[in-house]
A and B are shown apart, each in its own frame.
Chain A
Amino acid sequence: MTEMLDYIQFVLAPQVVTGLVLGVAVILVALGLTIIFGLLDVINMSHGEFYALGAFASVALGAIGVPFWLLLILVPLLMLPVGYIVERGLIQRVFHSGDRHVTTLLLTFGLGLVLEDVFRLVFGPNPHKPETPMPGAIELIGIFLPIYRLFLIAIGVAIIIAVALVVYRTRLGAMVRAAAFDRNMAASLGVPVSWVYAGAFAFGVALAALAGVLLAPIYSVFPTMGRDFILIAFTVVIVGGMGSIAGAVVAGLFLTQVQAIASLYISPVWTDPIVFGIMVLMLIVRPQGLFGRLGHA
């Protein structure tokens, strides 16, 4: 019995917490991705790079002395105009062609490559690591929990709830869902669709950047970090349903927990194939994902 308690205390519980930390961050990134897909029908291959951009911004601003709590507010705000410019300046140029899916995919993929090289040119290939904002840990029923990770989970959950409230309980959210459901009808009813599109893209980018700021002290910052994240973010979006917020949350939690707990029993290298295996299975059995698309029933 004590052996099992020891196991839960030292191995299983910390692993679940680690999975939650990653899960919350993945959900933030996947939320942006799924909103952009649900609303604009654009597969944003550069989304990982915006996550990295947020992290690099926190490193750069932190180096000139901006305190962490201010970074949490400032960096996403700074990303909003960046997202707006990308949407209006780049995506809208290829949005109205017939093969929009292909062109936007290629466009965002290229943008991702360019951004990654820009990071390497500006910041160098070596890793950077901002100071952990809340060092120290607490012992909760014998489980060792770093304070910063708990903070991360708390703030991530708060933001996710806020996003869900905005999308489902406010007029702004209703406009977004209407535009996702039927763009032309919404436009004729007075919804400023092009603003909604640009705004949603900017918002998705800001969420990814916020995830970058939050994770930077734990996972360190380096030019290829976007690549680490984009695969699991896409898997979450596909499994949860492309364009579904509830789906992103559920799939995000589920997949990261699967990854965290599986790595206790099998070689960690196999956790990635398992997660992708679930994605493939979902595509075969239920291609629309767990939940429906944004705005649709």
Chain B
Amino acid sequence: MKTKTTVLTTLLCATALSSAFAADPIKIGVVTPLTGTYAGIGQQVRWGLELATKEVNAAGGIMGRTVDLTFEDEEANPSVAVQKAEKLFQVGKVDFLTGTVNSGSTLAVGQLAERAGKLISTTVSFADSITGDRCSPNVFRVNARAGQQSSALAAWLAKEKPKAKVFYLGPDYEMGRSTVAAFKSDVQRVGGASLGEVFAPLDSKDYTQYFGQIRATRPEVLYTSVAGNDTVRLFTQLQEFGLLGNLTVLGASGTVTSQNVAAIGKAAEGFVTGVGYSAEIATPENKKFVEAFRAAYKADPDLYGADSYGLVYAYKAAVEKAKSTETDKVRDALRGLKWQTPQGEKTLRAGDHQAVQTMYVVRVTGGQFKIVSQVTGEEAIGADACTRF
């Protein structure tokens, strides 16, 4: 008994001594879907964050401290995301949190972050409300939102198919409804006609029940904002029922990505979207990033991987500017921050914490995402709708 106590006490003292010498790491919590429908997105988020963290740590970390990532599974479910975020804030004592994919999760975790006095950023969620009417002083967004994507896409549509007749199909939740609403208003603006809209539950197995409606209205263009497995099913079923023949399919940037384009196969050919990133961007920074990504993970990065990679560098720049990881100082440093990312320079707008960046219009050709046009950051960004701060 006495030897056991002595041994344990020695061990305890040893750990206390050793931790006094090491600088404690900066802890970034990541709540992202590792299972479920959006697991493919979570995988890209994870890859992007891990690659950037490895590079930052190899170059000496942030202010001499290493960056530690802790992952928790959000299962694309806001209530699970809140639980896991709470765990990371209270037990894990993370300095910063990111990774939420589902727009509902981002909004919910944002409220939690305000209570916990910490900052979060999403690298995926599209819903405009996150930096719009439901903005929060503790929530940042480094990726492009639905409004920016649809501005780019609408500009392309105005040039290629003015006065097009459009039908909309979106998943029935925050992201689906806001992307459809954003694109619809852009379509009206460029002179097109909206024929109808339908919202399907997430994880719908069969979209054929909507095809009757779609066929009846005879659209030229179909806009959709489904993602992950849902896209695979929608597109292959559209092809199965012969609807892809004279239909141009446009969509949100998350609809077809490198994670599901293989499964969709030929049905994805000709799909056009407005997106904040493409692996085809020809800048030297992007080429370096894509090579490093391919070498590490044997897959191409998509917008989620690239934006998550960019987030780590944004956080690094902000902490170095603020010379601290304290919430208020980092928040001030992040506001108006300009930093380099694989897709060029981005600016975090101070008024609503939204990243302003060049937007690309991309078409799927032979399974690759080819850039067909682009729109500057200022043109795409839209008004600052955040009135809270």
Contact = CB atoms under 8 A, between A and B. Distances in A.
Q: Do A and B come from one complex?
A: yes
A18 B206 contact: yes
B241 A224 contact: no
Contacts of B172: 267, 269
Nearest to B208: A18
A160 B286 CA distance: 56
A60 to B, nearest CB: 14
A163 B210 CA distance: 34
Contact of B236 (A120, A132, A144): A132
Contact of B212 (A15, A124, A129, A220): A15
A264 interface: yes
B201 A228 contact: no
Contacts, number: 93
Contact of A22 (B201, B205, B215, B229): B205
A55 to B, nearest CB: 13
B42 interface: yes
A126 B211 contact: no
A126 B236 contact: no
Contacts of B325: none
A228 B203 contact: yes
B213 to A, nearest CB: 7
A264 B209 contact: yes
Interface in A215-238: 217-220, 222-224, 228
Given A125-B43, A264-B209, A148 B36 contact: no
B348 to A, nearest CB: 30
Contacts of B200: 268
Nearest to B258: A126
B240 A260 contact: no
Contact of A220 (B40, B201, B232): B232
B37 interface: yes
A77 B262 CA distance: 29
Interface string B236-276: 11001110000000000000000110111100000000000
Nearest to A145: B241
A146 interface: yes
Contacts of A125: 34-35, 39-40, 42-43
Interface of A: 6, 10-11, 14-15, 18, 22, 120, 124-129, 131-132, 135, 137, 144, 146, 148-149, 217-220, 222-224, 228, 260, 263-264, 267-269
Given A218-B233, A268-B200, 5 more contacts: A126-B39, A127-B232, A129-B264, A137-B242, A149-B240
